[in-house]
Structure 1
Amino acid sequence: MTAMIDDPSTEPSTDLLTAVLLGDNYRREHGFWQRLISTEPFRRPERRTPAERLGLTYERLRVLNDRLDSGARLAADSRALAALHEWLGPVDPALATVAGIHYNLFLGTLLDHEGDTRRDLSDFLRLRSIGTFLCTEVAHGNDVAAIETVAAYDRARDGFVLHTPHAGAQKFMPNTSPAGGPKTGLVAARLLVDGSDQGVFLFLVPLTDALRALPGVRVRRLPARMGSPVDHCVTSFDQVFVGRDALLGGDHGRIGDDGGFSSTVDNRRHRLRMSIGRVASGKISMSACAVGSARATLAVAVRYGGHRYISGPRGSRQVPVIAHRSHHGPLAVAMATVFAMSLLHRRALDRWERREDGSGAGPEEAERLVAVAKGWITWRARSVIVECRERCGAQALLENNGMSELLTGVEGAITAEGDNLAIHAKAAAEMLFATEPAGCGTPRGGTPGDLADPRFLGGLLAALEEIWFDRARERMGRAPHGDPLGRWNAAAGPALRGVEAHAHRQAAEAYTDAVAGLPDGPAREQLIELQRLFALDWIARNSGDLLAAGHLTGDQVNRLPEAVDQLITTVAPRLPALVDSFALPRELLADWPIAGADYVDAYDDPAAAWQQHGGRTTAQGPR
């Protein structure tokens, strides 16, 4: 990649757009991970069995850990954790999964609770034991507050007895097998003190040695999950005893020297949130994984489209398939979407980091944006990856070309750290009952603006958000009182559409901020074009609602398809250069055959006739 130079007005457009995607400090924030995935241990291996691939995942985890200056520092740095997922996700989704669990959910949670009990973390920092996280259960996914694994305080032994009471309370999906080495888990369990339920807390529990589960711990592998292999298991406990220091306590709850329970937090749900606060960082990591995977897939699709030649019209010379509007049109829209995803991801990450310093909107609003962004970004990533896979035809179905693995990886991200629909429903309920409408201040009617004006387009996006939440409130108002579920069901559909519109508005505002930060020149112009394409594509999909509300005229609705098409015409020739701004290492792209112009060589046959004749053979003979 071209070196940065001091004068921003002459800085190459590629570098400026890379900074838009990855942040101004992208070399410091992302350079380590870019270099890491370029090294031999992270290159794409030859064909391997699922068991061999799982072994490779844990081998890579150890290589990664050895190259860190401090695993604790990584666990404490939300930006570094996000960058880890952004770059490891496209290379090895299984590695991103186990690394995220170990460094964020396990080690990060231990560090967050370090003030209550000073623990020796050296085994986990040196990977003598790999950390995992056991929260959801077979019968309890998003409703974590209802989990049924119990941890009963034993006064006589001054510790806790963990027990799984029935099949539905088995821990579901953690990587708890001995694969990769000994495992230790943070287990979410219902704390019982003298028979009184104090809510759900986390307990540090050794699970396996290098060969088998420890006494009282039962681990069974789940059926193979589509995509990258991870040792997902169901895990249960039969009267497993751990000492008092196994409880990750704090102000939200602790056992005193007298054996009594105390807490400064009365609400048990709030105690749970304080126990599993790292799930919010996990949502940011899932967004990062999806963003990185979508960028990599789009890069492959653009490159393949440029060197896959097909016959031209009426027997004319061959042309690259990407020359066709039917091919480059969806990729241009995908490019605008991928930039939007990247910008919204950075916006959510920034607000999460500033949630406590008084400069942002506050912890609750920051956590809501993180949740909304996670759902919207992972859903958009799936759409982008599916589109790119189709544009690459049958070759993209093959594992060695990477796309099928990334598609199944993003399916996991859609469900991990809170199912998308569940977290969007929670956000919808919170926004529905907000003091002011979501798009407050948006004028109704008035003089319509210019479809070429980003400020006018931003107003339309805000109007859509308000339209859907107004509909939700209206439907809720018509529902019978005294039936909370019925009232919510009446409002849920439009409220969820309002959350989707909110995510689009947040992404569009992030675009506006990014444009404002660029100097005049080609990079700024290209970003404005992508910004307008992103906004107009969404507005065109919702033009009927905007027309009915008086925000668009009939003439503007008729001109929307032409406006989108003109932007596609402008953006399409720039797709290869825009892909360069993704800053993907050459080694990464080289591991996917269809990303190179010589992709046919991946299918060459040393024993074929054309090799024996010293040249290519056609139906008419050698040539």
Structure 2
Amino acid sequence: MTPPPAPAPSTAVRDALTTVLFGPDFRTEHAFWRKLTTTEPFRRRTCATPREQLDLGYARLRLINRSLDSAARLACDVRALTALHEWLGPVDPTLTTLAGIHYNLFLGSLLDHDPEGRRDLSAYLRMDEVGTFLCTEVAHGNDVTEVETTATYDHDRDGFVVRTPHARAQKFMPNTSEAGGPKSGLVAARLVVDGTDHGVFLLLVPLTDGTGTRPGVRVRPLPARMGSPVDHCLTSFDDCFVARTALLAGVQGHVGDGGEFGSALASRRRRLLVSIGRVTPGKLAMSACAVGSARVALALAVRYAGHRRVAGPRGTGSVPVYAHRTHHGPLADALATVFAMSLLHRRALDRWESSTDADGRADAERLVAVAKGWITWRARDVIVECRERCGAQGLLEHNGLAELVTGIEGTITAEGDNLAVQAKAAAEMLLSAPDAVGERSGEGEAPVGDLRDPAFLRGLLADTEAAWFARARSRMSAAPPGDALGRWNAASGAALRGVEAHAARQAAEAFATSLAALPEGPARRRLAEVERLFLLRQAGRAAGELLAVGRVTAEQVRALPDLYEEAVAAVAAHAPALVESFALPDEVFADRPIAGAAYADAHDDPAGPWHRTPVRTAEGATR
């Protein structure tokens, strides 16, 4: 079936769907960052070398800082931070990385642990110095509780001596080079007072002064890596001294005037989690960056598919490549995924901001972590699919897809490797009460429901989640007792599938909430079509497990492919119009030739023979 050309969306439909994707406060949360991407300093440009791109990123970072009414306010506003990543991530991944480190991990941590404003942050707020964050070590990443850099209290000098004990403890991948001007960093180190290790804390350490490293600091560049150029380095400390005030103190701990250590928290792990609490907003920022990048990739691919023409069936002439089901099908599926990613991101952000008590905060933090993994993995799927749908044009740097392909890998690893983050969530959910993971009783009961009913399809997602966690518990119980790692290994595969189903269920519930808020009309119909495609895709992936636990019948499983094809056709017919709801400014497309019908003009040769006026010879021939 060839989808008919999509009608231009009405302003009302486009605006309604934009509100669905971005929330009701678009002007407050997003308009500033969207506008910034249209200004000349932030327009897409070609840099000859990675160093030029890096220098451009730092220059743009300072432009952002000068445009703010308050750098501190940005650092304290998680919605503004995520919006920055959502809009600037696909425009300049280098800039987004630098901004996330400076405003969230560095400034945000300093402000969180100094609510009374006793520390002078003016150099960082003016960006006379750029802030960075040194936590990961060569041998310690997700196991941050095991970092080996030490900060030993010196009573005589009333401060700390920061030391790197061996090569494995070098700080790995902070942006600590001379690029970007003077820098200070928050260094995660084991706090040692009077010979006692009190766990990992953060200390503010000056690193460079614009001409070189500070005393006791050593910085070496890492080899080139894939993705956007950032000055990632190995950083080590040779008896680097900082004053006692360098310690980021609070409920996690402090060192008093007499050099005694005190803490309101007995658990060293809890002390660390309080110290590095800014990692959770960082996960939200990574999700936002992935969502924004996937939107741009999909919009480019859909535009290109509409004006790239290929031979149609015999005797019909050429048709847009989008006319082929093999081409528009994956793009329609990607569109449903991008809507789901957007809605899950908003849901996690809302939950994080609204959580108040300890239990609610823990649940919200887990959802943020699960969403980060699911969204960034799905973004990679979407971006790679869109690149492939654009063929060789998608490989050219000036079209902007290639950098999205490599850039998404950074979001998958940043703020906690996805697999490690998902495994932690899986373990927590596995050990929770059954109702905490939506487990439903009655395995083997005859299903009651219609595959055309979205409520039934959402219920199947809950069934899938429950089934995978039930399988994980069963495998754990069957494993030999006394072997904790063996028991986890037996359960982990199924538990991770349960986390994946949990993320999809959360996205499905976000769809339902958004639909309930829309009045009857075209916008609601378009969103319902997108929701249906997403739900059917999830049901199809879980069909075997659902059949095994008696939640669907064999007849329903056989019906799923045809229902899915119907849903693809419905979404594909409106995909060009639906991407208008992404609110991407024209400037984003103007700087990427592939987005325009005249994309071939980017390859024109002014000296090509087609530009020469034919000259007629005396014999009447032309040359």
Q: Into which bin does the TM-score normalised by the smaller protein fall?
A: over 0.9
| Structure 1 residue aligned with 2:6 | none
| Structure 2 residue aligned with 1:6 | none
Aligned-pair CA distance for 1:357: 6.2
| Structure 1 residue aligned with 2:103 | 103
| Structure 1 residue aligned with 2:213 | 213
| Structure 1 residue aligned with 2:439 | 440
Question: C-alpha distance in 2, partners of 1:50/1:306?
Answer: 33
Question: C-alpha distance in 2, partners of 1:599/1:622?
Answer: 30
Question: C-alpha distance in 2, partners of 1:48/1:292?
Answer: 25
Partner secondary structure for residue 89 of structure 2: helix
| Structure 2 residue aligned with 1:426 | 424
| Structure 1 residue aligned with 2:7 | none
Aligned-pair CA distance for 1:544: 1.1
Maintained 8 Å contact 1:337/1:534: yes
Q: State which drifts further: 400-409 or 491-500.
A: 400-409
Maintained 8 Å contact 2:148/2:169: yes
Partner secondary structure for residue 234 of structure 1: strand
Aligned-pair CA distance for 1:548: 1.4
Aligned-pair CA distance for 1:602: 0.7
Which amino acid is 1:252 matched to? Q
Trace 1:320-339 onto structure 2 (pairs within 5 A).
320-339=320-339
Q: Count residues in correspondence.
A: 607
| Structure 2 residue aligned with 1:245 | 245
Question: C-alpha distance in 2, partners of 1:554/1:271?
Answer: 52
Which amino acid is 1:161 matched to? V
Q: What do residues 127-173 of structure 1 show as CA deviations (whole Å, max 9, x unaligned)?
A: 10000000000000100000000000000000000000000000000
Q: What do residues 530-588 of structure 1 show as CA deviations (whole Å, max 9, x unaligned)?
A: 11100101111111111111111111111100001001111112111111000001101
Question: C-alpha distance in 2, partners of 1:588/1:399?
Answer: 14
Question: C-alpha distance in 1, partners of 2:587/2:240?
Answer: 47
Partner secondary structure for residue 574 of structure 2: helix
| Structure 1 residue aligned with 2:374 | 376
What residue ranges of structure 1 are gaps of 5+ in the alignment?
1-9, 616-620
Question: C-alpha distance in 2, partners of 1:611/1:507?
Answer: 54
What residue ranges of structure 2 are gaps of 5+ in the alignment?
1-9, 616-620
1:599 correspondence with 2:605: no
1:142 correspondence with 2:146: no
Trace 1:261-276 onto structure 2 (pairs within 5 A).
261-276=261-276
Question: C-alpha distance in 2, partners of 1:447/1:233?
Answer: 57
Which amino acid is 2:597 matched to? A
Which amino acid is 2:369 matched to? A
Aligned-pair CA distance for 1:11: 6.8
1:456 correspondence with 2:456: yes
Question: C-alpha distance in 2, partners of 1:456/1:310?
Answer: 41
Question: C-alpha distance in 2, partners of 1:609/1:33?
Answer: 45
Question: Which of 345, 361, 364 lines up with 1:363 in the alignment?
Answer: 361
Which amino acid is 1:80 matched to? A
| Structure 2 residue aligned with 1:188 | 188
Aligned-pair CA distance for 1:40: 0.5
Question: C-alpha distance in 1, partners of 2:489/2:440?
Answer: 27
Partner secondary structure for residue 488 of structure 2: helix
| Structure 2 residue aligned with 1:566 | 566
| Structure 2 residue aligned with 1:407 | 405
| Structure 1 residue aligned with 2:548 | 548
Question: C-alpha distance in 2, partners of 1:473/1:517?
Answer: 38
Aligned-pair CA distance for 1:439: 2.1
Question: C-alpha distance in 2, partners of 1:219/1:144?
Answer: 21
| Structure 1 residue aligned with 2:278 | 278
Question: C-alpha distance in 2, partners of 1:153/1:447?
Answer: 65
Which amino acid is 2:494 matched to? P
Trace 1:225-236 onto structure 2 (pairs within 5 A).
225-236=225-236
Question: C-alpha distance in 2, partners of 1:561/1:80?
Answer: 41
Aligned-pair CA distance for 1:106: 0.2
Trace 1:26-425 onto structure 2 (pairs within 5 A).
26-115=26-115, 118-356=118-356, 362-425=360-423
Question: C-alpha distance in 2, partners of 1:279/1:139?
Answer: 19
| Structure 2 residue aligned with 1:15 | 15
Question: C-alpha distance in 2, partners of 1:285/1:124?
Answer: 21
Trace 1:405-554 onto structure 2 (pairs within 5 A).
405-437=403-435, 438-441=437-440, 444=443, 445-554=445-554
Give the TM-score normalised by structure 2. Answer: 0.96
Q: What do residues 187-221 of structure 1 show as CA deviations (whole Å, max 9, x unaligned)?
A: 00000000100000000000011132112111011
Aligned-pair CA distance for 1:318: 0.7
Maintained 8 Å contact 2:130/2:181: yes
| Structure 2 residue aligned with 1:3 | none
Which amino acid is 2:388 matched to? E
Provide closer, same or farther for how the CA distance between residues 525 and 357 of structure 1 changes in structure 2, counting only shifts above 3 A. farther
Maintained 8 Å contact 1:298/1:335: yes
Aligned-pair CA distance for 1:117: 6.6
Which amino acid is 1:68 matched to? L
Partner secondary structure for residue 481 of structure 2: coil
Give the TM-score normalised by structure 1. Answer: 0.96
Maintained 8 Å contact 2:227/2:409: no
Maintained 8 Å contact 2:227/2:410: no
| Structure 2 residue aligned with 1:610 | 610
Question: C-alpha distance in 2, partners of 1:52/1:252?
Answer: 41
Maintained 8 Å contact 2:440/2:463: no
Q: What do residues 217-240 of structure 1 show as CA deviations (whole Å, max 9, x unaligned)?
A: 110111111121000001000000
Which amino acid is 2:157 matched to? R
Which amino acid is 1:439 matched to? G
Question: C-alpha distance in 1, partners of 2:260/2:400?
Answer: 55
Which amino acid is 1:268 matched to? R
Question: C-alpha distance in 2, partners of 1:161/1:297?
Answer: 48
